[in-house]
Chain A
Amino acid sequence: MPEAPGTITSVFAARVGENKDSTAVGQGGTALSYRELDEKSDVLARALTGLGAAPEDRVGILMERGVDVVVALLGTLKAGCAYAPLDIRSPAARLRTVIEECGTRLVLVDSPERAAALRDSCGGGPGGVDVRVVGELAARALPPAAGPPPVHPQQLAYVIHTSGSTGHPKGVAISHQDVVAFAADACWAGIDRRVLLQSPLEFDASVYQILVPLLRGGTVVVAPPGRLDAAQLVRTLAEERITSTFLTPSMFNVMTEESPDAFAHGCQVWMGGEVASPGAVARTLAASGPGSVVNVYGPTEVTVFATRHLVTEVGDGPVPIGSALAGVRTRVLDEELRPVGAGEVGELYLAGRGVARGYWGRPALTAGRFVADPFAGDGSRMYRTGDLVRRRGDGLLEYFGRQDNQVKLRGFRIELGEIEHQLTRRDEVARAAVVTLPDHHGGHHLVAYVVPATPGAGGDWPARLLDALRAHLPGHMVPAACVVVERLPLTNNGKLDVRALPAPVFEGAGRAPRNRAERLLCEVFADVLGVPGVGIDDSFFALGGHSLTATRAAAAVAAALGVRPGLEDLFAAPTPAGLAARLADRPDTGARLVGPAAAPADGPVALSHAQRRLWLLYQLMADADPGYHIPLVFRLSVPVDTAAFDAALADVTARHESLRTVFPADGETAHQRILDPADAEVRLTVTDCRPAALDALLTAAVRAPFDLETEPPLRVTLFRTGEEQVLLVVLHHIAADGWSFTPLFRDLSRAYAARRAGAVPGFRPLPVRYRDHAAWQRAALGDRDDPGSLLARQLAHWRTALAGIPLCTPLPGDRPRPECAGGAGAVVEFTVPAELRRELDELGRAAGCTLFVVLQAALAGLLTRLGGGEDIVVGTPTAGRSDPALDDLVGFFVNTVVLRTDTSGNPTFGELLRRVREAWIPAYAHQDVPFDLLVEAVNPPRSLAHHPVFQIAFGLLNTEDSALELDGTTHHWRLAGTGSARFDLAFDAVSRTGADGAPGELDISLEYATELFDRATVERLADRYVRLLRAAAAAPDRPLHTYALDPRESPAP
């Protein structure tokens, strides 16, 4: 057995002594015995020394595969030089680059023709490369006195060039002792007798194919020259009784498709360099027998192979790359260079045997890739592979692809290999490759290339394949296009040649509608989303759709097609093509949902459900509770024309009935009485005050009770301090909601502008009134005792969905909860900056969900992290405006639904998004139940200590920006605190529009119960919320409990 450490030359000399007449290397009819090879390489070595070759000089080898290659290699090593293989298929420019990169002054070639060609391209003359034909050098006899100096084990044996990320080659410098140790590994015992050399010399698998047999007394069987096809290889393996060789999975897959029994004669194939295909391995094991396939892994930088796995069975996951070869140490580390937890994916670092000297002539590059080994303790180095692996429970490593092949699309790290695996595990796919390509929006997207198992597959097969992927992969991992190819182009090294792939033919983007349904759906999408054109493969959500617009779209689709899709349909099939197919077999019910229509009736008008709930609360709390006041504050930068403003207020109150509706008591309940515009005295109150008094006056004005029975539910006050002007608009919630701000301030701005110009605003009449909605809502919901009614069906949903919810979300407060909630509150304001907001938008788009879902998921995750348990219940407002006709109305349409999220099991943020989305769709689809009826149906134990069903509320107002424009100057509102708290915590997020019209920051006001929390606690909570959002946007694939919540806290492993 060879002994390490030593040199290749000394170990070879020992083998020559033992095996003088056995065949060392052969090809077809040509063969050299150990003695012949020794003599020929000796002659060559002396010739090289005679030419001035010194220890550590790099000698280029540019030769077709043949017996002489082995002579050239050994001769070079014996001369003390390192061989530097050159690729005979490389263009001259690339050859020059490699030759210059490693400073080669002497190149060995196999023929005078090649010598001439190389001299032409790399120049003879002074300073040029000396090109020599091996056959000529090795034929000369030189005096033995010219022998080269002895070789040191740390001397270089070869420099193999790999392509760097910039495309410039880098030479990996490997020493004798590393090769000797590699060849001494016990894993070669028994398979080293006849090893096939078929890999190109510039691929380091050839080191195994040449030096493992030669340093162990076996035979190098050189495959026929030229490019080999699968059939030739299969034939050679059998005819030459090959005991082992190396193949790339690409070649292996092709070979074993035709001949899964190619290794049945006792051959062991070592396969590596790419991800193995489990299907191909399985069929090979079945046909060639156990022990025939070894999956192997090894970067050139750690001497050929670092880990290997003798495959005995193929499971669902990737084929493992196994465990380390002798002397190699594997470490799986996280981004902080700490070992990752059991079963987690991390980057593989290799230490011990075989770690290269470095990159030839590249000290900085070397110092950045071959780094101090913090675990060795002896000053040795480790190589960081850039490969992602996971250590399974049984200790075997699984390969997850290149870290830099791990693309990051829209915030998600995506492992291309995982998508490829999902494709190739399907019987109808022979081979697959997934790459990222630029899309036409300036971003990137995934494109899959597939080779069908049966030729001729086409038609909608690629589309069906992608559909099938959707069942196994999250949306962001499903390729945008799937291209059928006859074969995957390979590089000389047998790896996928990405640049040779055909340009993707987009079945998708921009496809025009093919039938009436698709055309209507394209129109509806374009209309609802306000985009110029929609193709049948464009996703509603990728174009900017969200839950509110989804409801719109559903209503519009119902109107257009006569079939009303549920929101589930739109989420499951968000493209016109998909949705049309999904709805195709549903009967046209003819039951187009008709929106509210103006009813002629005058006289007393019944309350809507929402109004009734607020009115009851109003009665209960009397005038003590301003919790349902909506105080909006504008800091004005222009003086107000009070007369024009008064007139404008009158215009707007006349236009919107809600603003002049009073609620006279009517026994147990009340009714709506709409005042005549002339009787609705809503006027601007002007208060001049000292700056110091402003806050107190504002607070008082915010909290001043409304008399809902007699007064309009709107008050407007202008505070003037001499330094500033603050406009306070207080609405009672019974008359308006967040979605009312847009029409309210748009109309007020227009009226003010008109009045300032001495004109009357020319409003287009509103098609419906709030009271029409109230009547329509009652009719649409139906009777809850009628099991077929909308109300009964939705109530049934909520009873099931909310069964067993916690009585109260346990959040660690600063004080114990009083038995009876007093309702005192305060507000902390904070902002999600625009840049983070856009990342969150992207994150949502990639995950097929809305910004709202992203924000909710982070809230649920945060509550869990803070001790709120793993069954998170949050109340959230829904707009309640299912018909576009309602958009222009001021009124109390909003309803509250309950979102219940299971946060157990330390899910990744991506998984949490999926869960929230899954929970949100049915919640949203059953949003019509008025919240008070929902509470009755769920019937939780009543308590005066907290809000029923949920104690934490979260709302996102993402309508178009609502602002007040006075004399051409835009003023944004800010929610003032009411001094009350409706819930323990209530997040009200408002989406702002940036100056460029793009989505801007999110302003969040967080109302909290001061009985439970101190301000500092809530500020910290807000801070942690933003921190969690940021961390999740950066790395949505991390488990929830690993995100750092506090500034000094480093992320957990």
Chain B
Amino acid sequence: MNPFDDENGTFKVLVNSEGQYSLWPSFAPVPPGWEVRLDDRARAECTAHVEEHWTDLRPASLVAATAAAPDSRS
């Protein structure tokens, strides 16, 4: 099974400079360029965190480049 799909696994939530989120299995080292937002939690808790906080999927640089930010998530 892919480690990202392990419902019983322990995960982190990572964010990069573009404000993009990544689920990350706790057993693997955190890759450079990413910061930990949530540490060693159940998968469901991590996905709930992402749903709650990543409300605009546009990369930060695009948001910065375009003044208006209309209805960009859904």
A and B from one complex: yes
Contact in complex: A379, B34 (CB < 8 Å)? yes
**Interface: A91 (CB within 8 A):** no
- Chain B contact residues: over half helix, strand or loop, or mixed? loop
Contact in complex: A357, B28 (CB < 8 Å)? no
| CA gap between A173 and B48 in the complex, in Å | 21
One of A263-271, A360-368, A392-400, A1016-1024 contacting the partner: A360-368
Contact in complex: B50, A367 (CB < 8 Å)? yes
Contact in complex: A335, B59 (CB < 8 Å)? no
Contact in complex: A371, B71 (CB < 8 Å)? no
Contacts A154-B59, A357-B59, A363-B54 given; does A368 touch B4 at CB 8 Å: yes
The smallest C-beta distance from A181 to any residue of chain B, in angstroms, reads 16
| CA gap between A357 and B58 in the complex, in Å | 7
Contact in complex: A337, B3 (CB < 8 Å)? yes
Nearest-neighbor residue (CB-CB) of B25 within chain A: A337
The smallest C-beta distance from A81 to any residue of chain B, in angstroms, reads 12
The smallest C-beta distance from B53 to any residue of chain A, in angstroms, reads 8
Contact in complex: A370, B74 (CB < 8 Å)? no
For the complex, count residues of A whose C-beta is within 8 A of B: 39
Within 8 A of A (CB), among B1-47: 1-5, 13-14, 16-18, 20-25, 27-34, 47
Contact in complex: B33, A376 (CB < 8 Å)? yes
Nearest-neighbor residue (CB-CB) of A369 within chain B: B4
Residues in chain B near residue A358, CB distance under 8 A: 20, 57
One of A183-191, A380-388, A461-469, A599-607 contacting the partner: A380-388
Contact in complex: A372, B59 (CB < 8 Å)? no
Choose from B24, B47, B74 the contact partner of A360 (Cβ within 8 Å).
B74
Contact in complex: B2, A384 (CB < 8 Å)? yes
**Interface: A55 (CB within 8 A):** yes
Contact in complex: A56, B65 (CB < 8 Å)? no
| CA gap between A82 and B33 in the complex, in Å | 29
Contacts A361-B74, A367-B13, A367-B47 given; does A372 touch B62 at CB 8 Å: no
Contact in complex: A367, B21 (CB < 8 Å)? yes
Residues in chain A near residue B30, CB distance under 8 A: 372
- Chain A contact residues: over half helix, strand or loop, or mixed? loop
Contacts A364-B51, A372-B31 given; does A357 touch B57 at CB 8 Å: yes
Residues in chain A near residue B66, CB distance under 8 A: 55, 152, 155
Choose from A154, A155, A366, A376 the contact partner of B31 (Cβ within 8 Å).
A376
Contact in complex: A173, B14 (CB < 8 Å)? no
Residues in chain A near residue B71, CB distance under 8 A: 54, 56-57, 103
Nearest-neighbor residue (CB-CB) of B59 within chain A: A154
Residues in chain B near residue A375, CB distance under 8 A: 31
| CA gap between A370 and B14 in the complex, in Å | 12
Residues in chain B near residue A259, CB distance under 8 A: none
Contact in complex: B18, A379 (CB < 8 Å)? yes
Residues in chain A near residue B58, CB distance under 8 A: 56, 154, 357
Contacts A335-B1, A379-B18 given; does A364 touch B50 at CB 8 Å: yes
For the complex, count residues of B whose C-beta is within 8 A of A: 43
Choose from A103, A347, A366, A386 the contact partner of B57 (Cβ within 8 Å).
A366
Contact in complex: B29, A363 (CB < 8 Å)? no
| CA gap between A360 and B74 in the complex, in Å | 7
| CA gap between A361 and B51 in the complex, in Å | 10
Contact in complex: B2, A372 (CB < 8 Å)? no
| CA gap between A745 and B69 in the complex, in Å | 82
Residues in chain B near residue A152, CB distance under 8 A: 62, 65-66
| CA gap between A371 and B59 in the complex, in Å | 14
Nearest-neighbor residue (CB-CB) of A154 within chain B: B62
| CA gap between A364 and B18 in the complex, in Å | 16
Choose from A103, A364, A374, A378 the contact partner of B28 (Cβ within 8 Å).
A374
| CA gap between A377 and B5 in the complex, in Å | 23
Residues in chain B near residue A831, CB distance under 8 A: none
Contacts A358-B57, A381-B22 given; does A335 touch B74 at CB 8 Å: no
Contact in complex: B22, A371 (CB < 8 Å)? yes
Contact in complex: A372, B24 (CB < 8 Å)? yes
| CA gap between A335 and B1 in the complex, in Å | 7
**Interface: A373 (CB within 8 A):** yes
**Interface: A436 (CB within 8 A):** no
Choose from A55, A337, A363, A374 the contact partner of B21 (Cβ within 8 Å).
A363
Contacts A372-B31, A377-B31, A379-B17 given; does A367 touch B59 at CB 8 Å: no
What 1/0 flags go to A811-843 for Cβ under 8 Å of B?
000000000000000000000000000000000
The smallest C-beta distance from A413 to any residue of chain B, in angstroms, reads 10
Nearest-neighbor residue (CB-CB) of A365 within chain B: B47
| CA gap between A366 and B58 in the complex, in Å | 12
**Interface: A19 (CB within 8 A):** no
Contact in complex: A374, B31 (CB < 8 Å)? yes
Contact in complex: B47, A364 (CB < 8 Å)? yes
**Interface: A959 (CB within 8 A):** no
Choose from B23, B25, B72 the contact partner of A367 (Cβ within 8 Å).
B23
Nearest-neighbor residue (CB-CB) of A105 within chain B: B71
Contact in complex: A403, B2 (CB < 8 Å)? yes
| CA gap between A173 and B20 in the complex, in Å | 14
The smallest C-beta distance from A1034 to any residue of chain B, in angstroms, reads 10
**Interface: A460 (CB within 8 A):** no
Contact in complex: B3, A336 (CB < 8 Å)? yes
Contact in complex: A381, B73 (CB < 8 Å)? no
Contacts A357-B58, A363-B55, A367-B50 given; does A56 touch B4 at CB 8 Å: no
Residues in chain B near residue A360, CB distance under 8 A: 57, 74
The smallest C-beta distance from A616 to any residue of chain B, in angstroms, reads 56
Residues in chain B near residue A337, CB distance under 8 A: 3, 25, 28
| CA gap between A733 and B20 in the complex, in Å | 72
The smallest C-beta distance from A639 to any residue of chain B, in angstroms, reads 49
| CA gap between A102 and B73 in the complex, in Å | 9
| CA gap between A374 and B14 in the complex, in Å | 12
Contact in complex: A371, B33 (CB < 8 Å)? no
The smallest C-beta distance from A981 to any residue of chain B, in angstroms, reads 42
Contacts A347-B2, A372-B34 given; does A379 touch B16 at CB 8 Å: yes
Contact in complex: A103, B74 (CB < 8 Å)? yes
Q: Which of A155, A335, A363 has the most CB of B within 10 A?
A: A363
The smallest C-beta distance from A381 to any residue of chain B, in angstroms, reads 6
Contact in complex: A372, B50 (CB < 8 Å)? no
User: What are 14 inter-chain pairs, A to B, with CB distance below 8 A?
Assistant: A55-B66, A56-B71, A360-B74, A361-B73, A363-B54, A367-B20, A367-B23, A368-B23, A371-B4, A374-B28, A377-B31, A379-B18, A379-B32, A403-B2
* B residues adjacent to A (C-beta < 8 A): 1-5, 13-14, 16-18, 20-25, 27-34, 47-48, 50-51, 54-55, 57-59, 61-62, 65-66, 68, 70-74
Report the 3 A-B pairs with minimum CB-CB distance, sorted nearest first: A379-B33, A361-B74, A379-B16
6 additional contacts (CB under 8 A) given A363-B55, A372-B24: A152-B65, A154-B62, A335-B3, A337-B28, A357-B57, A363-B57
